[in-house]
Amino acid sequence: MEQLFIIKIGGNIIDEETKLGSFLQEFASIKGKRILVHGGGKLATKLADQLGHPQELIGGRRITDAETLKIVTMVYAGYINKNIVAQLQARGCNSIGISGADGNTLKAHKRIHPEIDYGFVGDVDQINTPFLKELLDQQMAIVVAPITHDGNGQLLNTNADTIAQEIAKALSTSYEVRLIYSFEKSGVLLDVNDEQSVIRQINPSSYKKLKQQQAIFAGMLPKLDNAFTALDNGVKKVIIGRAEDLQQLIEGRAGTTIVNE
């Protein structure tokens, strides 16, 4: 089975031009098929402030009212997505930038929550895998913005970590998928303040022990739960680590590797 790398980058990398440039250089040099899913960074919040539309966050999640949806669509599916594509082209990596509405790639529904109205926030229902495979077969790197649609003309703001996981699961029947979550830490840390305390590998039994011992920073648990969901649905490996170490993460020489055995 052919290998496919699905890599998610966080907003902290997008916000720093130099770091983004070196990350994209490493991404461009990956041999074979690859998909890059990006977050939004601070630009949407900054633009919203400039437009006099303050942002509301609950538990780190952005409440997306109608005006905020316009702003995040402009920033995520517009400027950030196309800037990444242009930078990849400059590095000899032929790329196409899409949102979930393009090619009917990501259909979603408006999130239903018993207590919180998240506004126009979407949860993924369906991935157009034939369309993604067609683009990959043309040797293009795909750059995915975290905007989905509901099939009835409504755009939705959707969590980029979740999009990466859903695409990885959907394509795992056709490829040997390696899902990489790259962010600002060196991996899953035993001590959140010590970048050297990386746990190199986690499997279901070691994860259970680490949770019982409360040895992992609580903020990392949703990422790890997502990782095991991906593995349970056909993804070969999930790797978590620093965006600056992308090549080493791919080679298994850095970060934390999550496996199901």
Q: How far apart are CA 189 and CA 13, in angstroms?
A: 20
DSSP H or E stretch at residue 176: strand 176-183
Q: What is the CATH number of domain 3-258?
A: 3.40.1160.10
Q: Please give the C-alpha separations between residue 132 and each of 79, 136, 222, in angstroms, as whole numbers.
A: 22, 6, 27
pLDDT tens figures, 160-190: 999 999 999 999 999 999 999 998 889 999 8
Residue 144, pLDDT above cutoff 80: yes
Alpha-carbon gap, residue 175 to 161, rounded angstroms: 20
Residue 141's pLDDT is what? 98
pLDDT tens-place string over residues 214-224: 888 877 888 89
Residue 33 — pLDDT band, cuts 50, 70, 90?
Answer: very high
**Own/partner pairs, 21-26, CB within 8 angstroms, 24+ separation:** 21/87, 22/244, 23/182, 23/243, 23/244, 23/246, 24/84, 24/87, 24/88, 24/91, 24/93, 25/91, 26/246, 26/247
User: According to the model, what pLDDT value does residue 215 have?
Assistant: 86
Beta bridge partners of 182: 9, 241
Q: Output the pLDDT for position 62.
A: 82
